[in-house]
């Protein structure tokens, strides 16, 4: 076994070589050991605190428990906006055996769009290990079933439930409730970020936005211990969320549906108020849209369709639609004339069917001119002027009052500024005056324009809600309230804020209201057609407002005017006359005349007084 040099082997020298090398090794090893010990010392003693924090952060996660959004119910407790469980399907890539084929499978089961797949791929690329990446959100129980039943055959797929806003009566209530939508960057700047951690939605318009702060609630927190896969093991500490408060509305779902049904396909709006507290009993704007579409994000195409539609379904006509009030301002002007002594209840005006400003040749026509000519009567008094809506009478009154006095007397009824009803984007209409025209248009006021204003035409604009508020003042003979949709927030009553009362002589109120009763119940009343079979006294006033200007001496002929240029029909009413329990305003956009509006009001008031009212 010995090698070629075995004979010359110097064992002693070999031993000393080995010994020297062993010592070298020993030194080397001791140095390495020292480095190791220092490394562990550094990690475990010097940096201990940092790593302990790190390990706690690893295992302990602060989870936000988003609050449950408050629900919205009508005056009888029926759910109008609620939270429905929906499902999210997600994928944990680490658990999936074959991701591409799993994706194909899911695409078939869930009908995934290219956008959803793209978002998912992005999520997969940026995930933490074992993180769930959502692939489809907002599924209902039936849709999620296509995945849920085979979950055991789909390793890596998880299904999570979450609450999503749902509006069961979106067909008639979208304009009232508004909707929630995904929180946008813009929203985030306005919201308190701390309160919205873990929350995906916020109110965008309507009540949902106006009452966001109370509907939302406060999030809770829990410290949970999780493993590396993100699985929750136990809850260490918990602070429960404060759920959002429920809203109870003045609104009556049945009345809302009846109003919408009565309006039918007619574009327009219906506002019904409770004159006792200003509560909104119904608020319909037609056409409407489905608020549920907005909750999980409406597709661009669907939104463009809604937005570009000529019928402007996204416009809440009740508070955003501004229309010339037409003859519905006449009772208000009459009261103003009485209070400022321009007229008495006995004052009469000669009515040949037209009016001429002294010293001017131009004729201002009464509406009867195109129907029968010759005016309402030889002489017309205030009561008749209201009942039959005599324009001549009001041309005269307006001429004598002047535009600025008119503005002064109409202002207490709430024209010219938003009512303050609790919704969003309310418009304030226009109450013209010389000052207004100078500021808005930079022009002087012309006397002829005063006459247009006398019959609610020209520059004067009002929303149906403003007219309803003004009608409430009439109904209550001076007292009124800021209209409010919400009655109670949680246990607290809100709204019912009284407005400055309008002080008038009792006989003045009576005279004007008698005229308004004649509108419906009088033989020649402009709304006499709806009085058939009526069991209570209704006071009202019709209005027809022009969309296009009619040339001097030309006659408005409905058949010749295109549909979009037809007159708007208006009707304001309250009932019963002596002790009013409901105020109604109906606007029939391009309805041709007030006859498109009056039956709607009758139907709504009938329903309220005979069937629905809880008084």
Partner 1 sequence: MSEYARYLDDSQRSFARPRTLAQWLHLDLVLLLPLCLIMVLGLFVLFSASDGDWSTVSRQLRNFVVGWGVLLVVAQVRIDTIQRWSPALYFFALGLLLMVLMFGVGAKGAQRWLSLGIIRFQPSEVMKVAMPLAVAYWVVRYGLPPRLGVTVVSLLIIGLPAVVIGLQPDLGTALLVAASGVSVIFMAGISWWQIMAGMLTALAALWPAWLFILRDYQKQRILTLFDPEADKLGAGWNIIQSKTAIGSGGWSGKGWLQGTQSHLDFLPESQTDFIIAVLAEEWGFRGVLCLLALYGLVVARGFWISLTAQSTYGRLLASAITLTFCVYVVVNMGMVAGLLPVVGVPLPFVSFGGTAIVTLMLGFGILTAISTEKRIISQ
Contact between 27 and partner 1 by CB under 8 A: the answer reads: no
Using the minimum distance from each CB to partner 1, give the nearer residue, 82 or 226. 226
DSSP H or E stretch at residue 292: helix 292-295
From residue 575, give the alpha-carbon distance in Å to each of 336, 506, 535, 537: 22, 18, 11, 6
For residue 51, what are its two tokens? 């790593």
Using the minimum distance from each CB to partner 1, give the nearer residue, 13 or 301. 13
Contact between 36 and partner 1 by CB under 8 A: the answer reads: yes
Question: Site for partner 1 (CB under 8 A): which residue of 97, 114, 128, 506?
Answer: 128
Q: How far is 570 from 518, CA to CA, in rounded Å?
A: 17
Which residue out of 288, 327, 433, 545 is catalytically annotated? 327
**Cα torsion for 159, 160, 163, 165, to the nearest 10°?**
-40
Burial class (CB in 10 A: 0-12, 13-18, 19+), 528: middle
Contact between 59 and partner 1 by CB under 8 A: the answer reads: yes
Cis amide leading into 576 (omega within 30): yes
Smallest distance from partner 1 to CB 18, Å: 5
Q: Which stretch binds partner 1 (CB under 8 A): 48-56, 300-308, 422-430, 466-474?
A: 48-56
Q: Which stretch binds partner 1 (CB under 8 A): 220-228, 266-274, 414-422, 585-593?
A: 220-228
Q: How far is 482 from 504, CA to CA, in rounded Å?
A: 20
Q: Which of residues 267-306 bind partner 1 (CB under 8 A)?
A: none
Cross-strand partners of 270: 284, 586
Contact between 236 and partner 1 by CB under 8 A: the answer reads: no
Contact between 93 and partner 1 by CB under 8 A: the answer reads: no
Q: Is residue 484 annotated as part of the catalytic site, yes or no?
A: no
String marking each residue 461-500 x if it binds partner 1 according to CB under 8 A: ----------------------------------------
- Tell me the H-state helices in 167-210: 170-177, 185-190, 206-210
Count Cα atoms within 13 angstroms, Cβ side, for 592: 11
Q: Which stretch binds partner 1 (CB under 8 A): 12-20, 202-210, 294-302, 434-442?
A: 12-20
Measured at the alpha carbon of residue 466, what is the angle toward residues 413 and 590, in degrees to the nearest 5? 130
The structure tokens 């002829």 sit at: 448
Contact between 4 and partner 1 by CB under 8 A: the answer reads: yes
Contact between 237 and partner 1 by CB under 8 A: the answer reads: no
Residues contacting partner 1: total by CB under 8 A: 50
The DSSP bridge pattern shows strands 157-166 and 217-218 to be unpaired
Contact between 152 and partner 1 by CB under 8 A: the answer reads: no
Using the minimum distance from each CB to partner 1, give the nearer residue, 18 or 529. 18
Contact between 41 and partner 1 by CB under 8 A: the answer reads: yes
Smallest distance from partner 1 to CB 48, Å: 4
Q: How far is 222 from 231, CA to CA, in rounded Å?
A: 14
Contact partners, residue 23, CB within 8 Å, separation at least 6? none
Contact between 372 and partner 1 by CB under 8 A: the answer reads: no
Catalytic residues: 327
Which residues of this chain interact with partner 1, rule CB under 8 A? 1, 3-6, 8-11, 13-15, 17-22, 25-26, 29, 32-33, 35-37, 39-41, 43-45, 47-48, 50-52, 54-56, 58-59, 128-129, 225-229, 233
């Amino acid at each position: 076994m010995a090698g070629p040099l075995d004979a010359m082997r110097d064992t002693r020298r070999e031993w000393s070589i080995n010994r020297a090398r062993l010592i070298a090794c020993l030194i080397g090893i001791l140095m390495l050991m020292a480095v190791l010990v220092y490394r562990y010392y550094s990690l475990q003693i010097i940096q201990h605190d940092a790593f302990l924090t790190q390990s706690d952060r690893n295992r302990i996660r602060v989870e936000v428990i988003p609050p449950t959004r408050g629900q919205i119910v009508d005056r009888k407790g029926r759910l109008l906006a609620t939270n429905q469980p929906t499902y999210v399907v997600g994928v944990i890539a680490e658990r999936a055996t074959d991701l591409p084929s799993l994706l194909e499978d899911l695409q078939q089961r869930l009908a995934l769009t290219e956008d959803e797949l793209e978002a998912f791929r992005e999520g997969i690329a940026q995930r933490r290990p074992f993180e769930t990446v959502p692939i489809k959100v907002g599924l209902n129980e039936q849709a999620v079933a296509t995945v849920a039943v085979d979950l055991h055959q789909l390793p890596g797929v998880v299904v999570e439930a979450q609450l999503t806003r749902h509006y069961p009566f979106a067909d008639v209530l979208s304009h009232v409730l508004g909707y929630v939508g995904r929180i946008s960057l813009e929203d985030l700047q306005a919201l308190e970020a701390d309160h919205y951690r873990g929350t995906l939605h916020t109110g965008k318009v309507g009540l949902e936005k106006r009452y966001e702060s109370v509907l939302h609630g406060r999030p809770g927190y829990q410290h949970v211990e999780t493993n590396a896969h993100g699985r929750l093991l136990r809850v260490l500490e918990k602070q429960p969320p404060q759920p959002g408060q429920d809203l109870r509305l003045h609104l009556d779902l049945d009345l809302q549906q009846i109003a919408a049904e009565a309006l039918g396909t007619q574009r327009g709006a219906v506002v019904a108020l409770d004159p006792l507290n200003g509560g909104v009993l119904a608020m319909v704007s037609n056409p409407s849209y489905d608020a549920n579409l907005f909750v999980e994000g409406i597709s661009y195409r669907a939104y463009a369709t809604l937005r570009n539609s000529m019928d402007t379904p996204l416009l809440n006509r009740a508070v955003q639609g501004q229309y010339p009030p037409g003859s519905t301002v006449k009772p208000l002007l009459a009261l103003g004339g009485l209070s400022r002594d321009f007229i008495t209840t006995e004052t009469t005006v000669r009515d040949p069917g037209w009016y001429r400003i002294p010293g001017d040749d131009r004729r201002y026509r009464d509406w009867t001119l195109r129907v029968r000519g010759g005016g309402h009567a030889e002489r017309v008094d205030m009561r008749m002027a209201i009942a039959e809506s005599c324009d001549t009478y009001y041309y005269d009154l307006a001429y004598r009052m002047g535009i600025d006095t008119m503005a002064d007397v109409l202002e207490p009824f709430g024209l010219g500024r938003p009512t303050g009803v609790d919704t969003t984007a309310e418009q304030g209409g226009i109450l013209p005056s010389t000052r207004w025209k100078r500021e808005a248009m930079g022009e002087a006021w012309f006397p002829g324009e005063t006459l247009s204003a006398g019959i609610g035409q020209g520059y004067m604009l009002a929303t149906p809600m403003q007219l309803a508020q003004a009608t409430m003042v009439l109904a209550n003979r001076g007292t009124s309230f800021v209209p409010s949709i919400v009655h109670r927030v949680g246990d607290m009553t809100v709204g019912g804020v009284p407005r400055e009362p309008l002080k008038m002589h009792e006989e003045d109120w009576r005279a004007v209201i008698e005229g308004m009763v004649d509108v419906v119940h009088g033989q020649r009343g402009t709304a006499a057609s709806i009085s058939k079979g009526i069991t209570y006294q209704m006071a009202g006033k019709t209005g027809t407002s022009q969309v296009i200007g009619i040339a001097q001496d030309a006659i408005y002929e409905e058949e010749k005017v295109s549909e979009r240029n037809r007159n708007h029909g208006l009707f304001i009413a309250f009932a019963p006359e002596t002790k009013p329990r409901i105020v109604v305003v109906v606007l029939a956009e391009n309805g041709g005349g007030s006859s498109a509006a009056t039956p709607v009001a009758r139907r709504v008031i009938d329903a309220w007084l005979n069937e629905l009212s809880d008084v």
